[in-house]
Amino acid sequence: MDEIASKTLKKHLDESNYRKLMGVDNQDLHLFVAEYINLCNPDSVFVNDDTSESIAYVRNASIKAGEEGSLAISGHTFHFDNSGDQGRDKKNTRILLPKGADLGPAIDTKDRDEGYAEVHAILKNIMKGKQLFISFYCLGPSNSPFTIPCVQLTDSSYVVHNEFLLYRSGYQEFVTRASNGTLAGFFKFVHSQGEVDERKVSKDLDKRRIYVDLYHDTVYSTNTQYGGNSIGLKKLAMRLAIRKASEQGWLTEHMLVLGIRGPKGRTTYFTGAYPSMCGKTSTAMLEGESIVGDDIAYLRKLEGEVRAVNTERGMFGIIQGVNSKDDPLLWNALNSPGEIIFSNVLVTESGDLHWIDKDGKAPSKGWNYAGEWFPGKIDAKGKQIPPSHPNARFTMGLGNLKNVDPHLDEPNGLPIGGIVYGGRDSDTCVPVEEAFDWVHGIVTKGASLESETTAATLGAEGVREINPMANLDFLSVPVGRYIEMNIKFGEWLSRTPLIFSVNYFLLDKSGNWLNERNDKKVWFEWMELRVNKEVDAIETPTGRIPLYADLKRLFNESLKKNYSETDYIKQFTVRIPENLAKIERIVKFYKTQVTDTPGILFDVLEAQKKRLIKAKMQFGDYIPPSMLMK
């Protein structure tokens, strides 16, 4: 090893931690660790080798450091982030690019040399007086074609604790790959929470940066604790993986993976992309079905089939609205003993919790991300502070759930029958619709996904935005190239998944929901039957929709609900003006915000526009499904 690196490691690591690090016999790793020890200058270093002692050490460290506190139920802990650090910081998240490289106007980038210098200046001595934790993980099941090994450096035991719960451990994978020479290309994450105040929350938010160095597979994150900014393997790794996937011909997607039980004991697997806070986790948790993952999936073509894995093994889920009636499985897990971290919820003196729309009333007193709380408390701008933040979260391993799919760790992933795209759309798309074919689906459902912004990111809520495949925030390749990759991915398959759209957020003219929360179970059961060619559909200008009789039967069988034809007509009427307006917005986006849009996208949208205009001339602006039945 390089002499300076060797000296640094020997100086900063005690004998046992040095031994653990050297257990991974890889020079690149040692040089990387030594470089950031020299720069960040921690007081001590802890290497996590995934033994139960190491895990216990970190768990205790988080309580000891005050990053987490214990709660009444055994294994439950809480954590607060700064009130200005409650969501993903899109403004300060940048892809670092060398001179001459360009990802187009829709993706925020920064000159690599400038960004690198800036973040390295912030990192200098940032860990003085602190301990550095080094941990190893695998994205995807270990020892599989999907596996990406990752190493995380952080001074936050809260971040490490989250990662224990969310990712498959990777020390052994590093040891094995280092010894057989297959460790090249591992992902690297350097995080520091920076200085914390008396509540142990990051205080230098003006120095919050999340910089993604694509060409060195490294991400830097500073002066933030919010999981979406700090947990390297989550949305930070996604950017690295999207680029890797684009070079190797597979896909990294913002997708859940879910098993839907069909007739005769069959399970059909779906993936589904939804922007944050648009029903992704509650879909993954559908009662009677099985969850493989709720956030990020890798998709590969293996022997002519699309197969998918959850890159994670836990959930960093939004807790607002979780209640015993609508989410019985999650409710049970969140109220049972077991290892769970709750962030930015309301904590009472007795160690109980409250969050927005939980069963029961908010207590009259407690502590949350904004300090001591009581009903009616207002912030500096005179706005009422809710008991918990709308983006408050829980972190929990999928093993805590009764509905976890038994094939979660299948090394070759699960065969995918359908791919679903869903956004927050109050007035345009029907609740469920099948695309005519792969390319039509990728263009009109995935690439045309629109959604209203939510509290998962900092900034205004409720603004309609185009969000291709719900993945725009994480793209690290030009948008056009990404769409092209998706189109190409559907070629040369012996079994092509069907593509669908769903919309849980339709409103009537008076602003009332047109659907109930659990209706999505029926949409998925209908899609399962379509994938297995067991029900017919009605062809509309925008895709294929269910027949009333099939939905009536499914509502009755699955939800014990009488589904009226009036509701069906309200929900499934084709809205021509809204659909035409949507096409205008999408075309404008791809003409002005994307410089490399594949021509086929415009062709497919133009054909859809023509079908809509033709139907309008024949049937008018709002077409009930019965008029389109052959």
Between strands 218-222 and 209-213, the pairing is: antiparallel
Active site residue 138: no
CA 392 to CA 279: how far, in whole Å?
A: 15
CB of 277 to ligand OXD, least distance (A): 8
213 binds, among Mn ion, ligand OXD, none (CB under 5 to 8 A by kind): none
Q: Which residue is nearest to Mn ion (CB)?
A: 295
CA 7 to CA 549: how far, in whole Å?
A: 74
Q: Which two tokens stand for residue 431?
A: 């609740």
Q: Which two tokens stand for residue 487?
A: 């189109």
CB of 67 to ligand OXD, least distance (A): 19
Question: Which lies closer to ligand OXD via its Cβ, residue 12 or residue 88?
Answer: 88
Task: Give CA separation, 192 vs 118, 199, 203, in Å.
Answer: 14, 17, 12
CA 252 to CA 237: how far, in whole Å?
A: 10
Task: Give CA separation, 622 vs 523, 541, 569, in Å.
Answer: 22, 12, 10
CA 67 to CA 87: how far, in whole Å?
A: 18
281 binds, among ligand OXD, Mn ion, none (CB under 5 to 8 A by kind): none
300 binds, among Mn ion, ligand OXD, none (CB under 5 to 8 A by kind): none
Question: Which lies closer to ligand OXD via its Cβ, residue 168 or residue 582?
Answer: 168
88 binds, among ligand OXD, Mn ion, none (CB under 5 to 8 A by kind): ligand OXD
Would you count residue 312 as binding Mn ion (CB under 5 A)?
no
DSSP labels, 378-405: B-TTSPBPPSS-TT-EEEEEGGG-TTB-
CB of 165 to ligand OXD, least distance (A): 14
CB of 395 to ligand OXD, least distance (A): 10
Window 561-600: contact mask with Mn ion (x via CB under 5 A): ----------------------------------------
Question: Which lies closer to ligand OXD via its Cβ, residue 225 or residue 496?
Answer: 225
Task: Give CA separation, 32 vs 27, 393, 470, in Å.
Answer: 8, 32, 33
Question: Which lies closer to Mn ion via its Cβ, residue 276 or residue 579?
Answer: 276
Question: Which lies closer to ligand OXD via its Cβ, residue 40 or residue 401?
Answer: 401
Residue type, 88: R
Phi/psi for 152 (5° steps) reads -115, 130
CA 318 to CA 302: how far, in whole Å?
A: 33
CB of 254 to Mn ion, least distance (A): 6
CB of 278 to Mn ion, least distance (A): 10
Give the gyration radius of the chain's Cα atoms. Answer: 25
| CB-neighbour burial class of residue 103 (10 A; exposed 0-12, middle 13-18, buried 19+) | buried
Q: Tokens 């179970």 belong to which residue?
A: 521
Using CB under 6 A, list all residues that contact ligand OXD: 88, 228, 276, 295, 316, 456
**Annotated active-site residue in 138, 150, 278, 429:** 278
Question: Which lies closer to ligand OXD via its Cβ, residue 47 or residue 236?
Answer: 236
316 binds, among ligand OXD, Mn ion, none (CB under 5 to 8 A by kind): ligand OXD
CA 143 to CA 422: how far, in whole Å?
A: 32
SS3 506: coil
Q: Taking the C-alpha atoms of 433, 438, 444 and 449 in order, what is their torsion angle to the nearest 10 degrees?
A: 80
DSSP labels, 203-240: --GGG-EEEEEGGGTEEEEES---HHHH-IIIIIHHHH
Would you count residue 295 as binding Mn ion (CB under 5 A)?
yes
CB of 410 to ligand OXD, least distance (A): 23
Between strands 340-343 and 76-79, the pairing is: parallel
CA 163 to CA 311: how far, in whole Å?
A: 12
Question: Which lies closer to ligand OXD via its Cβ, residue 343 or residue 542?
Answer: 343
Count of residues engaged in binding Mn ion, rule: CB under 5 A? 2
DSSP labels, 286-313: -TTSEEEESS-EEEEEETTEEEEEES-S
CB of 141 to ligand OXD, least distance (A): 20
Would you count residue 484 as binding Mn ion (CB under 5 A)?
no
Q: Which residue is nearest to ligand OXD (CB)?
A: 276
Contact (Cβ atoms closer than 8 angstroms) between residue 45 and residue 12? yes
Residue type, 333: A
Question: Which lies closer to ligand OXD via its Cβ, residue 29 or residue 470?
Answer: 470
Sign of CA dihedral 282, 339, 80, 254: negative
154 binds, among ligand OXD, Mn ion, none (CB under 5 to 8 A by kind): none
Strands of the 69-70 sheet, one edge to the other:
69-70, 76-79, 340-343, 393-397, 314-318
Question: Which lies closer to ligand OXD via its Cβ, residue 292 or residue 605?
Answer: 292
CB of 627 to ligand OXD, least distance (A): 39
In the window 253-292, what residues touch Mn ion (CB under 5 A)? Answer: 276
CB of 228 to Mn ion, least distance (A): 8
CA 64 to CA 111: how far, in whole Å?
A: 39
228 binds, among ligand OXD, Mn ion, none (CB under 5 to 8 A by kind): ligand OXD
456 binds, among Mn ion, ligand OXD, none (CB under 5 to 8 A by kind): ligand OXD
Question: Which lies closer to Mn ion via its Cβ, residue 295 or residue 450?
Answer: 295
- To the nearest 10 degrees (0 to 180), the angle between helices 157-166 and 52-64 is 140
Residues annotated as part of the active site: 278
Residues that bind Mn ion (CB under 5 A): 276, 295
